[in-house]
Amino acid sequence: MEFYKYQGTGNDFIMIDDRTELFDTDNQKMIERLCDRRFGIGADGLILLRNDTAYDFKMIYFNSDGRASTMCGNGGRCIVAFAKFLNIIQHTTTFTAIDGIHEAKIENDIIHLKMNDVEHIKNNKGDFVLFTGSPHYVKQVEKLDLLDVYKEGKEIRYSNDFKEEGINVNFIELIDAQHFNIRTYERGVEDETYSCGTGVVASSIISSIIQNKNTNQFKINTKGGTLQVRFEQQGSSYKNIWLIGPAIMVFYGKIF
């Protein structure tokens, strides 16, 4: 099997050109083995690029546990870079993913990915729950660098409110009106990852709400690098949301 390895701010993915649709999407154990960092290639997730009859391509995403999952923002940026490498697109694209249609553009090797609108945000005793292509829990903290993200994130992810379907847990530390630090515990990976695109989007919206300053553009420091998010607020809805950052091929090869 030929594969390509991409990373977006340290969130890494196995990318497979599956336009022939030969990949067995039902083989959860195989996907989990491929993502294993000791016995496989190693990745936070696996992404298939397939043909789509109406759009440039289709994105199919699996978490490292081998299960098909909801939208992955960093993975979305990586598949756009992969599609350009395969000469499927040039500098703009429209593609489909599990949560619907996405637009994207490439400017100076930086990927701009348009995310779906956010309509509903729940206040959970001062923390927040929302859906940005994947479900997210956002909690503001101090001294983020000292936080046990694995322990604290796992407790929330497996709490009674979320244990059935799971939730991604984001801890944010505000720097100023347009900057914050973030660390994320991801379901499916069941550990802290270096970056989470949909989590960065969710946390940017919540940062705007917490600070009540109508800020709609953020620079976010993840463990794996810097991302940007911008959006427009229309009443209680958030629209024209863009996730912006690098997506880089690391290596390619064959696994047997």
- Cβ partners under 8 Å of residue 36, min gap 6: 42, 64
Q: At what angle do helices 73-85 and 197-211 cross, to 10 degrees?
A: 130
Catalytic position from the list 35, 72, 169, 200: 72
Structure token digits, residue 198: 């949909």
CA distance 99 to 69: 10
Active site residue 72: yes
Q: Answer yes or no: are the C-beta atoms of 231 and 241 closer than 8 Å.
A: yes
Strands (E), the chain: 2-8, 11-17, 45-50, 58-63, 92-97, 100-107, 110-115, 121-124, 127-131, 135-140, 168-176, 179-186, 191-193, 217-222, 225-234, 237-246, 248-254
Task: Find all residues with CB under 8 Å of 12, minimum gap 6, and list them.
Answer: 5, 6, 42, 43, 44, 194, 250
Task: Look at residue 11 and give its three-state secondary structure.
Answer: strand
Left, alpha or beta for 240 (phi > 0: left; psi -120 to 50: alpha)? Answer: left
First to last CA, the chain: 7
Q: Which among 196, 202, 243, 247 is annotated as catalytic? A: 196
Give the dihedral sign, CA 221/97/112/176: negative
* 35 given a catalytic annotation: no
Q: Which residues are catalytic?
A: 72, 196
